[in-house]
Amino acid sequence: MKTVDCRGLACPQPVMETKKALDRSESKEIVVLVDNPTSRENVSRFATSQGYQVSLRDEKDHSAITIRRGEGGKGEEKPAPPKSSIEGGLLFFIDSESLGRGSEELGGVLIRAFLHTLGEAEVKPQKMILVNSGVKLACEGSPALEDLQTLASQGVEILVCGTCLNYFELKEKLRAGRVSNMYEILNALTQAEKTVKI
């Protein structure tokens, strides 16, 4: 039996670590340790959605989630790890360095979590467009820079608005993706089969 200690990890890391353990483990059962109700629910829901049997045990300062293969689960064999793929017509449009409205601090945490999770997701967009303050994500000093570099290395084309970089005086600090222009950005938007604004 394998134990995955996810105590102290922020969302969505417990789910991502659980997924990695299930993909790599030969064991019929793994135990995931979490220290908050949100992680407990997220990991349990993820495992159940993937066809595994789940049982919960609450301790004083954490919960132990036992995930089993076999009857009612994913079968006796270890599931094959999913292949990462680039979704041909999918484009993500990011126009801010934070996600959502309200707290800028929370929005910064959310956009970093989103980009990190996207780097580990099975399906990725073909292109990402960064405009307005979203260009700051791809520049030196950005907490999301490493995740954007990972996405670029996985084949995601990252187009960064040159006018926006100039406005924020960041052109020399671009470290992920490439400088683009409104003509290219417009063409990418109109040719995409599906555009998702983040």
Question: Active-site positions?
Answer: 11
Structure tokens at 15: 């789910």
72: left (phi over 0), alpha (psi -120 to 50) or beta: left
| Whether the Cβ atoms of residue 100 and residue 108 lie closer than 8 Å to each other | no
